[in-house]
Amino acid sequence: MSVRKFLTSDAVHNDRDLELNSQDITKVLIGDQDKTVHFKGLNKEAVGNLFSTRAKIAEAMNIGPSHLVQHISNAISCPKPVKITDKPGFRKNSVPVDLTALPAPKYFPLDGGRYITAGVIIAEWEGNRNVSFHRMMIVGKDTMAVRLVPRHLYTMSELARSKGQELNVAVCIGLRPEVLLAAATSTDYGVDELEIASAMYESSFKKPLEVGRCDNGILVPADTDYVFEGRITLDRMNEGPFVDITGTYDEVRVQPVIAIDKAWTADRPLFHLLLPGGNEHYLLMGLPREPMILRTVRQAVPRTHAVCLTEGGCCWLHGVVSITKNKEGDGMNAIMAAFTGHPSMKQVIIVDEDIDIFDDRQVEWAVATRFQGNRMIRVPDAAGSSLDPSSDGTTWKIGIDATRPLNTGADKFKKAVL
């Protein structure tokens, strides 16, 4: 069963012939990002805006939207084993290797080429498994350039390179939200993200996540739509430009080359299109960071209720945290803890429990009526996000304590209700 099962009843069906080297697909996806778009007018069917709202992600995971952060947090804290099946759905069809035939578009005019944007790479090295998101630029029928930031897959690739070896990988496209979210988590090296995905899946569906084995031994989710078995080679080439999460172009870098050896698909596969800098990109990248912020702030302020990385801040650079103070100063402590939980964040607003942090107007109202400039923390020359175009290597961080005081006079900060 592929991601086709997540097509909602209100999905838009686009039957027009679209040009992969133009921005036709991008224009359709940007039109209404809340709507899932099912592309049929391509050589192969594709889907975009599939998990572009918290509600759609939650529904696919069989939970309520308000439970998302805790659901992810529980899985990170208590991973569960996967179940290996001998007949995974992705192996239904062995197909010729031809990446150029995929419905992967050139999303923006200055992109370095056509990109796979919803691709998750699974690799194993010396007993450790890693599952992570990576953008991949198609450069030939069996060749892609992959962007590796200096984290776990980069580490595995460099360890293999130091021994003159290639790193076996599986590139997966068309995955359940549990796997996508697990692939975007920041965990200790050696933690198996497939087991984090399995914990989320088992919590909702009372059975472990099923996986199947590629010919190179890599385990991948059984119901993946497309699986490409390959190797991160010793070759490198220019990758980019590419529009990243902020909607601005990331720079060209010399990056590793992946060579693809085999390809499989499920029956009637759907190719997942992740709009760069779109709402789905925001959520799948930002949501897994919210449990980290929640955990660190709760260590400083026990009654921490909710965390949100805001869409206006690309679900990466700006956040809001809701707390109930036990004592004055808790708002300031929450600010410092939040930056520890997500070092890429450069602005955080702390609000009281009566503010809906998912309502931008309520958050701004709290800042307007409960905040003065002397309750702001400014942190100069801190390490921030390389995705922030305003950063020159370091960044200024700002924390805003928009909580009402606990002392006499606090009543004047309460909003009137009927």
Give the whole-angstrom CA distance, residue 212 versus residue 207: 16
Which of 287, 289, 282 has its CA nearest to residue 245?
A: 282
What distance in Å separates the CA atoms of residue 279 and residue 276, rounded to the nearest whole number?
9
| 8 Å CB contact between 198 and 208 | yes
Its sign, for the CA torsion 357, 281, 248, 398, is positive
Grouping H, G, I as helix, E, B as strand and the rest as coil, residue 167 is strand
Q: Give the active site residue among 142, 244, 250, 352.
A: 244
Beta bridge partners of 173: 226
Spatial distance between the Cα atoms of 50 and 60, rounded to a whole number of angstroms = 10
Contact (Cβ atoms closer than 8 angstroms) between residue 343 and residue 377: no
DSSP 11: -
- The arrangement of strands across the sheet holding 83-84 comes to 83-84, 210-213, 219-221
- Which neighbouring-strand residues pair with 308? 320
Element (H, E) at 115: strand 115-116
Q: Is 244 assigned a catalytic role? A: yes
Q: Is the peptide bond before 241 cis (omega within 30 degrees of 0)?
A: yes
Catalytic residue ranges: 244
